[in-house]
Amino acid sequence: MTDNMITDVDRLPPEVNFFSLETVGEGVFAAISDSPLAASNAGIIALGDGALLFDTCISHLAADELRRAATHLTHTPVRYAVNSHWHPDHVLGASALPGSVPLISTGHTRELIDANIPGRIRTMRQQRSQIDQELREAQRRLDGLTDPDARRALQEEIQLKHYRLDALNNLTMRLPNSTFERQMAVYGSERAVELLTFGGGHTASDAVLWLADERILFTADLLFNGIHPWMGDGDPDEWLRIIDDLLALDPAVVVPGHGPIATADELAALKTYIPQVQAAVVDLLAEPLPDDEADDDITMRISVPAGLADLEGEELFLRSVAALVTRALAQQPQPDADDAPPNDGK
Ligand SMILES: [Zn+2]
């Protein structure tokens, strides 16, 4: 750690924001991620005598900003936080919240956080030496730069790398304190919110937040708006079923897990998107396996359908299809014992 590293969120310059805040109803706010330090959207709900955070972003820096924004917007402290599903970009900020703030998830999401997050944290920490090296190189380049605009751009890049290092140095798993199986209501003095799960589509367990009076739905990653969704940990058939459950709520406003605020139309569009992913998987499974399977990069054999060219994050489509193909191949029946290679007993 270097002396000039920013480790105290209070020293962040005031112009730094990891997300933009949008009002989606009275006392209901969406934090739309603007930065890899947030990496996912979140929600702030005023309950009257406290605020509830729906999801906690990827870093302690963004989560702390989320907590301070909630206090500022609702004039109350954060009283509850929710993790919609186990993915790191939604849960890792939770450790920055005070321990007195209970963290809520489905029971299965709690198990998945416990099973997956320690490994993800180990993998993410491995990025630190690379960022350290990039910082040294960027600093050397800055020393040789005289053009003010170029210096400013590089200084911003350096600052972002310092934030990323700070975030990676502060990765801690926090497990939910309270779980639910199908639904849970959280009551404040002026408002109750409903947490619902219809099972798992994006992951094995996905929860949404529903405000029935205002018809505002926070879907987390059951909707990526304008971006290809990550489907590699999910179940496309179940996801399609869950979309119908969500549409049956008749939401007027839909806050996605990634991308700008949406409506039911974008949610309904997944009903034509997901079958295209499934078709790509079927096509690939029908192809003969390449001679050298070990060196096969499945993503090289996938192309994004022309109708989906407007969506950002093309590599997410490729990676999702590749992951679903790999999983399907792994689940195919094993060859009969007679065909199997000799068992060496290990
Ligand atoms: Zn996710």
Which of 5, 338, 3 is CA-nearest to residue 159?
Answer: 5
The residues with which 346 forms a beta bridge, in sequence order, are: none
Alpha carbon distance 93, 113 (integer Å): 13
* C-alpha 1 – ligand 1 centre gap (Å): 31
State the Cα–Cα distance between residues 89 and 96, nearest whole angstrom: 14
Compute the distance from residue 286 Cα to the ligand 1 centre, in Å.
29
Question: What is residue 297's predicted lDDT score, i.e. its pLDDT?
Answer: 82
State residue 343's pLDDT score: 47
For 84, residues 6+ apart whose C-beta sits below 8 A from its C-beta are 54, 55, 90, 105, 109, 206, 207, 208, 209, 218, 220, 221, 257
Q: What is the 146 CA–ligand 1 centroid distance (Å)? A: 42
Cα 233 to ligand 1 centroid, rounded to whole Å: 9
Classified as helix, coil or strand, 333 is coil
Cα 24 to averaged position of ligand 1 atoms, centre (Å): 22
Q: How far is the CA of 110 from the centre of ligand 1 (A)?
A: 14
Ligand 1 centroid–CA 290 distance in Å is 31
Distance 79 CA to ligand 1 centre (A): 24
- pLDDT at position 301: 85
Q: How much distance in Å is there from the Cα of 341 to the middle of ligand 1?
A: 39
Mean pLDDT by runs of 10 across the 346 residues of the chain is 39 62 96 95 98 98 94 94 98 97 98 98 97 96 94 94 95 98 98 98 98 98 98 97 98 98 98 97 88 75 91 95 93 63 48
What pLDDT does 333 receive?
78
Distance of alpha carbon 87 from the chain centroid: 6
71 with 51: CB under 8 angstroms?
A: yes
Spacing, Cα 343 to ligand 1 middle (Å): 39
Q: How far is ligand 1, taken at its centre, from the CA of residue 208, in Å?
A: 12
Distance 112 CA to ligand 1 centre (A): 12
Distance from Cα 249 to the centre of ligand 1, integer Å: 22
Ligand 1 centroid to residue 34 C-alpha, Å: 17
152 CA distance to ligand 1 centroid (A)? Answer: 34
Identify whether the C-beta of residue 42 lies closer than 8 Å to the C-beta of residue 54.
yes
pTM: 0.90
Exposed, middle or buried: residue 190 (CB in 10 Å: 0-12, 13-18, 19+)?
A: exposed
Separation CA 16–CA 42 (nearest Å): 17
| Backbone φ/ψ region at 324: left (φ over 0), alpha (ψ -120 to 50), beta | alpha
**How far, in Å, from the CA of 145 to the mean position of ligand 1?**
40
Virtual CA dihedral for 222, 225, 230, 235, nearest 10 degrees? 30
Distance 32 CA to ligand 1 centre (A): 15
| Residue 123, H or E segment | helix 107-125
Contact 31, 19 (CB under 8 A): yes
Q: How far is the CA of 143 from the centre of ligand 1 (A)?
A: 40
Q: Burial letters for 317-342: b for 16+ Cβ neighbours within 10 Å, e otherwise?
A: bbbbbbbbbeeeeeeeeeeeeeeeee
Q: What angle do CA 57, 62, 64 make, to 5 degrees?
A: 110
Cβ atoms 85, 56 nearer than 8 A: no
